[in-house]
Amino acid sequence: MDDLRDSQTKLMEVAIDLFASRGFRGTSIRDIAGAMGMSISNIYHYYGSKEGLLLAILKHSAEQVANKLLEVSGLNMEPLDRFRLLIKTHILMSKNHKKEVKIFFLDEEHLSPDGNEINKQFQRDIFNIYKKELHNLKAEGYVKYENLTTLALNVLGVVNWHLRWYRPEGPLPLEQITDEILTFILHGVLGHPTSDTTTKEKDLEKVGL
C-alpha cells in the first residue's frame, strides 16, 4: 500500500512539473509515462485520463493548503497575531505549491467543469477562513469596515497577486516580500505611523484594515 501511495505521489509530482513547463494541453499521457518509466495503462488505471490526473493534483494541493490555513485559524492566539500568521502561512504554502496554485489562479480558463468546481470550492474555503478572522479582528476593534466580504476579497487579492510577479531567482527574498505584503495589508498606503503621526493617523494603526 505504501509503495502504491509513493508511486502515485511521484506520478503527481512528475505530472505537475510537465504541466507547468509544457502546459496541460502540451503534455500527453505518453510524456508523463515516459518521464515516470511506467506504462500508459498504469496511469489510466490510476486516474482514468489526463484530466483525471490533473483533478487529483488540484484536489490534493487544495486540501493541503486549506487544511493548513484551517489549522492556523484554530490556534488559540491573540486575533491580530493569528491573522499575521495566517497571511505568512498562506504565502509560504503558495510557494510550496506554486505550480498547482498558479493553475488555480492564472490558468483557470483551461480547467474542465469538474476542475472549475474544485477551484471554486477551494477559493470559497479560503475566503471563509479569512472572513472569519476579519470578523474576529472587527470584534476586537481592529477593523473599521462594515463589509467584511469586500475586505476579505481585497486582502486575498493582495496575497494572491504575488503569484503573478514574484520570481524566486529575483533580488528580493520571499521573507522580505511576505513582510511587505503583510505591512501593506495592515497599514495600507499610509505605511508605518511615525512619532509625528497625528491622532487620527495613529487611530488608523489599529483600525487600518
Domain ranges of the chain: 1-48, 59-207
* pLDDT for 71 beyond 60: yes
Domain 59-207 belongs to what architecture?
A: Orthogonal Bundle (1.10)
* pLDDT for 70 beyond 90: yes
59-207 and 1-48 share a CATH fold: no
* C-alpha cell belonging to residue 82: 493569528
Q: Please give the pLDDT value at position 100.
A: 80
Mean predicted confidence (pLDDT) in 19-41: 89
Mean predicted confidence (pLDDT) in 111-135: 90
Q: How would residue 193 be classed by pLDDT, with cut points 50, 70 and 90?
A: low
Mean predicted confidence (pLDDT) in 142-157: 92
pTM of the entire predicted model:
0.80
User: Is 200 in a helix, a strand, or coil?
Assistant: helix
Widest pairwise Cα distance in the chain: 70
Q: Please give the pLDDT value at position 151.
A: 93
Of 81-85, 130-134, 135-139, 169-173, which range is least confident? 169-173
* pLDDT for 207 beyond 60: no
Q: How many Cβ atoms are within 10 Å of 126's Cβ, its own excluded?
A: 21
**Beta carbons of 130 and 155 less than 8 angstroms apart:** yes
Q: Please give the pLDDT value at position 66.
A: 92
Homologous superfamily of 1-48: Homeodomain-like (1.10.10.60)
Q: Give me the percent of the chain exceeding a pLDDT of 90.
A: 36
Of 56-70, 175-189, 190-204, which range is least confident? 190-204
